[in-house]
Amino acid sequence: MTGPHTDKPETDAPTDSPDVLTFPPVIFIVFYVIGYVTDRAFPADLGTAHARYAIGAVLLAISVALVAWAVAHFVRAKTHFDVRKPATSLVTDGPYRLSRNPMYLAMTLLYAGFAAAFSLPITLGLLVPCLALLHHGVISREEGYLERKFGDEYRDYKARVRRWL
């Protein structure tokens, strides 16, 4: 084809997405599966079943409530809760008044709740590198994107609200 027109997208053009490593639940699932398989190969006990189930149930309940609350605010704001898609508005109310990342906090509690309930100490330990990968592969990229997209509005929000709690 001649002339300036081409069917290939420009590689230097910025995209309206944070260019995260992957969909965040995938990170949690991969680390959980690796931990689960390792825990089954080298079983250990995290304490009495009754205590583990109670702790797990509390963490799971908080997780479900938190993610439902966060998603409801995204739906109300008519923006995507899938971090791989463009943000159409900045959500700063509801759970986002308390944490910039309530959905990631909910996923962390869900992961920890299952690991505690089913006595998976290695899986629980793998939450640390899981969160490190989440931070570098998702959160820092997402924050940079939101800063570029929403400018001072996001910087002001970031100064007021902590990342986790």
Average pLDDT (128-153) is: 97
Confidence of residue 3 (pLDDT cuts 50, 70, 90): very low
Confidence of residue 14 (pLDDT cuts 50, 70, 90): low
Residue 4 domain-assigned?
A: no
Rounded-to-10 torsion of CA 76, 105, 66, 98: -70
Residue 102 domain-assigned?
A: yes
Instruction: Give pTM, 2 decimals.
Output: 0.89
Q: What is the pLDDT of residues 32-60, one digit of tens each?
A: 999 999 999 999 988 899 999 999 999 99
Q: What pLDDT is recorded for position 13? A: 46
Structure tokens at 160: 């007021």
What's the mean per-residue pLDDT of the chain? 92
Residues in contact with 153: Cβ distance below 8 Å, sequence separation at least 6, in sequence order: 90
Residue 19 domain-assigned?
A: no
Residue 55 domain-assigned?
A: yes
Structure tokens at 99: 């944490």
Q: What pLDDT is recorded for position 47? A: 85
Residue 2 domain-assigned?
A: no
pLDDT surpasses 60 at 4: no
Residue 76 domain-assigned?
A: yes
Residue 6 domain-assigned?
A: no
pLDDT surpasses 60 at 134: yes
pLDDT surpasses 80 at 8: no
Alpha helix (H) residue ranges in the chain: 24-41, 49-76, 102-117, 121-125, 127-134, 140-150, 152-160
Structure tokens at 66: 């938190």
Structure tokens at 120: 């998976």
Residue span of the structural domain in which 62 resides: 24-34+46-160
Average pLDDT (118-128) is: 97
Q: What is the pLDDT of residues 65-96, one digit of tens each?
A: 999 999 999 999 999 889 999 999 999 999 99
pLDDT surpasses 50 at 125: yes
For residue 157, report the phi and psi dihedrals to the nearest 5 degrees. Answer: -60, -45
Provide the percentage of residues in the chain whose pLDDT is more than 90. Answer: 85
What's the structural domain count of the chain? 1
Residue 127 domain-assigned?
A: yes
